Structure 1
Amino acid sequence: MPTKSIKIVVEGGNAKPGPPLGPTLSQLGLNVGEVVKKINEATSQFKGMTVPITIEIDTSTKKYEIKVGVPTTTSLLLKTVGAEAPSGDPEHKKIGNLKMEQIIDVAIKKKPQLTAKTLKAAVKSILGTARSIGITVEGKDPKMVVKEVEQGKYDDLLTKYEQKWNEVEG
């Protein structure tokens, strides 16, 4: 059974039948409207975020499967902080502040895509992204918070979330 994979990034719950998706799907003989509707249903919980998806198509039977990835770290952080876009000047212009629990939550959601082996390492990675887009954490520059994580300040909190981290495939 010949299969074809289409990888594309769409806005959660708002995929459009236009290019590049529509023409590609119609070339493969699929009902573009139906596929787009299913993509929008599958990505609806990520409204307003960019979401990677893969469509696996059996070219002989025209059966397909939609696999939804996890939005980018930037998208997850922006949604969590309630901002539309990253700061153009993260050093001087902040777009919001998050609690450490929110950073841990983003780290857990991103686990399947991260190379981090531990929750602590994942949190430090997420803090780096937060800093680069103008988000403070616990009212501080995320670079300071990384130092505090390394010093063990958040060990009790991280231990509380270890179980959740370990339950996620990755």
Structure 2
Amino acid sequence: MSRRLKGAKKAAEKVIHSTPIYIYIQAGMANPGPPIGPQLGQRAINIAVFCKDFNDRTKHLKPGIPIPCLISVNPDRSYNLKMSTPPISYFLRQAAGVERGAMNASKEVSGKITVKHVYEIAKIKSQDEMYDCIPLQTICKEIIHRARTMGIQVVHRLDANEYAQFLEERKQIVEKQLKEIEEIKQAKLLRTA
């Protein structure tokens, strides 16, 4: 009787109910440092093996692309890694040719994309497990909504020369905004010191 209890106790100890880790990792740039190392180390995963595995899986992608990853840990310290396509915001910034969205999306335009861009992004995102049974039209609506929240206009046609001029003007506005943000930070630091 006591042998059965000991065997059942050992089996119960092996079951680890941990929540999966959801993290963005840059393609081909996984390293044991933060934020990956501490999160995987807490769950007793071999960090060096994980980094090598992730970098091998993403070597065909452009380095630095943010990849959403879902990591679930097994009781034997192994893991299951599910990777998705980059987030919609990444694709929108790439299509618009901007580094960041608008600070106030209702008052300023940070970039412009065409309907064709929206369709191409939707085709890529439809490969994700999350969008498995969702129609392409619904994904397109979500992309358009996300573009609006970032201050990116969706237009039917886009002239390359006009847009290049727009981006130059936008670059100056962004530099001015970044200077204002830095001045506010410095003012807060002076008040607290």
Do both proteins adopt the same fold according to a TM-score greater than 0.5, normalized to the shorter chain? yes
Given that 1:86 and 1:133 are in contact with CA atoms closer than 8 Å, whether structure 2 keeps it comes out as yes
- Counterpart CA distance in 1 for 2:23 and 2:63 is 16
Instruction: Single out whichever of 16-25 and 38-47 deviates more from structure 2.
Output: 38-47
Q: Which runs of 5+ in 1 are unaligned?
A: 141-170
Q: Equivalent residues in 2 for 1:20-169 (5 A)?
A: 20-43=35-58, 45=61, 47-60=63-76, 62-111=77-126, 112=128, 113-114=130-131, 117-138=134-155
Residue type of the partner of 1:57? V
Post-superposition shift, 1:23? Answer: 2.7
- Counterpart CA distance in 1 for 2:67 and 2:111 is 22
Residue type of the partner of 1:71? P
> Which has the greater radius of gyration?
2
Instruction: Call closer, same or farther: CA 1:115–1:68 in 2, change over 3 Å.
Output: closer
- Counterpart CA distance in 2 for 1:91 and 1:48 is 30
Runs of 4+ in 1 over 6 A off after TM superposition: none
Given that 1:42 and 1:68 are in contact with CA atoms closer than 8 Å, whether structure 2 keeps it comes out as no
Given that 2:69 and 2:84 are in contact with CA atoms closer than 8 Å, whether structure 1 keeps it comes out as yes
- Counterpart CA distance in 2 for 1:90 and 1:13 is 32
- Relative contact order: is structure 1 or structure 2 higher (C-alpha 8 Å, sep ≥ 6)? 1
- 2:31 aligned partner: 16
- Counterpart CA distance in 2 for 1:91 and 1:116 is 32
Residue type of the partner of 1:21? I
Post-superposition shift, 1:134? Answer: 1.8
Given that 1:58 and 1:64 are in contact with CA atoms closer than 8 Å, whether structure 2 keeps it comes out as yes
Residue type of the partner of 1:64? Y
TM-score for both structures, normalised by structure 1: 0.64
SS in 1 for 2:21: strand
- 1:161 aligned partner: none
- Counterpart CA distance in 2 for 1:48 and 1:86 is 19
Instruction: Call closer, same or farther: CA 1:55–1:88 in 2, change over 3 Å.
Output: same
C-alpha distance after superposition, 1:30-61 (max 9, x if no partner): 3312212322343452644433212233332x
